[in-house]
Amino acid sequence: MARIAHLSDIHFGAHDPRIVTAAEAWLQQSQPDLIVISGDFTQRARRDQFRQASAWLNRLRAAGMKMLVVPGNHDVPLYDPFRRFGAPLRRYKRYISNDLCPYYEDDAVAILGLNTARSLTIKDGRINHDQMRRLRDRFARVAPDKTRILVTHHPLFAMPIGRGGELSEAVGRHEDAVEAAREAGIHIALAGHFHRTYAEAAHRMVADAGGALVIQAGTATSTRLRNAEPQSFNWLHVHRQDSVELQVVIWDGASFQRGHHVAYVRSTDGWTAQEIDDPRALAGIRIAQRARA
């Protein structure tokens, strides 16, 4: 099993210092196997904002935590045309990570991050064909029993998470990106961008989407809230390719507390959700799965 903390949209420069400190304390106490951060480390890609983000990450690393991170559109300068088009991610590479295609693998999971932030768009994301080839090639070498996870800032799929349930914007080259994820055998797709928590089987949103479970993180520490959803991040227990627990860790005004807890189980019909009030519930699901096998 792999225990993964999935954070997104930290937005240093538009953050609440109390919440940043509380998130750090929660992570240090929980000691995940891996911290995934799916972009938007800063509000306006300014040097002081990157320095604050870097100092926070370095404290987590000093506490022994491993990380996989990708940039977001806010990590590209907006009001500095020279940097935006000449060196859009120079500061990100200097202060956060020089690797725009990070990869992590252990006995349970294989995780690939892809950069969807682009200079030519203000907020939208794109995946190019070279990244799609990298996606297919990297997971082609992964043992079949490992859970395959893709991390992007912008989600590959349009989701009903706006006001009134309207669909969100999907990543550019959407159809090609979905095809590449399907061919790579992605089991879980992690993203952020919309400051909204959401999880759903991809095939319920897009035809021919394959077997991915799409999991969106809200904003972990930003004051830029949407639809009054509080700051939060995701706590994942990945048991196997066909079994994952998702618990949303929510800021209650004083500290982060574990909240909504769901088990997702994958069968030939796709991913289905089951509320968990008793931690023994997932054990019962696993027993039932073995009985069907």
Which domains does the chain possess?
2-292 (3.60.21.10)
Please say whether the beta carbons of 270 and 211 come within 8 A.
yes
CA–CA distance, 72 with 29 (Å, rounded to integer): 27
DSSP labels, 147-159: EEEEE-SS-SS--
Please say whether the beta carbons of 17 and 53 come within 8 A.
no
**What letter would DSSP give residue 268?**
T
Q: Rounded to the nearest 5°, which phi and psi values hold at 117?
A: -75, 135
pTM value is 0.90
Please say whether the beta carbons of 41 and 94 come within 8 A.
no
- pLDDT tens-place values along the chain, 293 residues long: 999 999 999 999 999 999 999 999 999 999 999 999 999 999 999 999 999 999 999 999 999 999 999 999 999 986 565 555 556 799 999 999 999 999 999 999 999 999 999 765 556 788 899 999 999 999 999 999 999 999 999 998 877 776 656 667 777 677 888 899 999 999 999 999 989 999 998 888 877 788 899 999 999 999 988 777 899 999 999 998 889 999 999 999 999 999 989 999 998 878 999 888 654 444 443 433 433 34
CA–CA distance, 175 with 192 (Å, rounded to integer): 19
pLDDT at site 286:
42
Ordered alpha helix ranges (H), 113-193: 129-140, 174-183
pLDDT at site 43:
95
Please say whether the beta carbons of 130 and 86 come within 8 A.
no
Among 90, 91, 96, 138, CA closest to 114: 138
pLDDT at site 292:
37
CA–CA distance, 56 with 155 (Å, rounded to integer): 25
**Which is it for strands 109-113 and 103-105: parallel, antiparallel or unpaired?**
antiparallel
**Which is it for strands 147-151 and 188-191: parallel, antiparallel or unpaired?**
parallel
CA–CA distance, 220 with 238 (Å, rounded to integer): 21
